[in-house]
Amino acid sequence: MPPKVGEGVCSPWTFQGLTLCIMSIVFCRIQGAILTNNAEVELGGNATLRCTLTNHQFKTIQVSWQKAINQNFVNMAVYYNETFIADSYKGRINFTIIEVNDTAITFWNVSTQENGCYRCIFNTFPGGAFEGDSCLSVYDNLNTFLHYTVSDGHLNATCLATGFPRPNISWIAPGAEKNEHEIANPNGTVSVTSKILVNTSSSHFGQELICKVTHRGKETDIKVPVKKRGYWYLVPVVITVSVLISVIVVIIVVCCWKRHMKKRRRF
């Protein structure tokens, strides 16, 4: 008796399942057949992104590079018998490897505009398009500055951090009033300014005050040199007393010198 449909290992459903599995495996292999690299570069430097098609069974007809902009990919460079660079990228990028299964583009004098992710596309026959994604991380070294003043019973501290990507500032400053703003600089870097106001007569004053700057996963601590409660009141007093003592000493010296000169004249 012949087997019924749906029974045994030879049923149509079994063949369909095997076919789908084989297609999935082939598809996964094709999708994973491009080797890419990510790159990190300092502002103003040069960087290269590369894609290599490891599947050689199809003929490559065209190679393209696109950039991700607002969740869309925009053409920036194409190789089809000769190279084509989009007008907005001329003088900024160029193909540095052009082979059937290997492509690379180099960015010159990198600006913050180049920061982001890119897609390489190998258009093949008869295999269709193979895509690979790689990202370029642009950075600028961190610069920090701390300024503080004490007047009218208040400590004003300003912490400034400039870099790219945007640095983040936080404070260890109990009881402080804080405000922050940022400025985009012409070269694409970002300057963040954070200010605190501390009442020097409060119970919190005298505790450690720290400006914490986080940039590219690294944390930098900048301490405000507050020693103990009441310290800032003593500073102007000490300065005033020192000045008075200096003036008195000068007056005494001048008086002694004049007295000495008078005695010499008598003789």
Q: Does residue 86 lie in a domain region?
A: yes
Task: Please name the helix (run of DSSP H) or strand (run of DSSP E) that holds residue 252, with its range, or none.
Answer: helix 231-266
Domain membership of residue 209 (yes or no) is yes
The values of phi and psi at residue 202, to 5°, are: -75, 165
Domain span at 20: 14-138
pLDDT of res. 227: 59
Please identify, among 105, 138, 171, the residue that sits at the C-terminal boundary of a domain.
Answer: 138
Give me the CATH number covering residue 173.
2.60.40.10
The reply to whether 134 and 204 lie within a common domain is no
Q: List the pLDDT tens digit at each of the 267 positions of the chain.
A: 444 434 443 444 344 443 433 333 333 344 448 899 999 999 999 999 999 998 778 889 999 999 999 889 999 999 998 999 999 999 999 999 998 899 999 999 999 999 999 999 999 988 899 999 999 999 999 999 999 998 888 889 999 999 999 999 999 988 788 999 999 999 999 999 999 998 877 655 667 789 999 999 999 999 988 755 444 444 555 677 788 888 898 888 888 877 777 766 665
Position 134 in a domain: yes
How high is the pLDDT of residue 251? 87
Q: Rounded to whole angstroms, how far apart are CA atoms 143 and 215? A: 10
Instruction: Indicate whether 26 belongs to any domain.
Output: yes
**Three-state DSSP class for 190?**
strand
93, 51: one domain: yes
Which pLDDT score is estimated for 255? 84
pLDDT at 18: 39
Does the residue 266 lie in any domain? no
- pLDDT given at position 79: 93
Quickly list DSSP for 123-151: EEETTEEEEEEEEEEEEEEEEEEEEEEEE
115, 138, 161 - which closes a domain: 138
Q: Are residues 127 and 186 in the same domain?
A: no
In this predicted structure, what is the pLDDT of residue 4? 43
Burial of 261 (0-12, 13-18, 19+ CB in 10 A): exposed
Asked which of 93, 111, 138 is the last residue of a domain, the reply is 138
Residue 248 lies in a domain: no
Same domain, 18 and 123: yes
Q: Do residue 216 and residue 133 come from a single domain?
A: no
Do 171 and 126 belong to one domain?
no
Do 23 and 133 lie in one domain? The reply is yes
Q: Do 122 and 48 share a structural domain? A: yes
pLDDT at 148: 92
pTM: 0.68
Q: Is 27 a domain residue? A: yes
How many distinct structural domains can be found in the chain?
Answer: 2
Give yes or no: residues 94 and 159 share one domain: no
Domain identity same for 114 and 202 = no
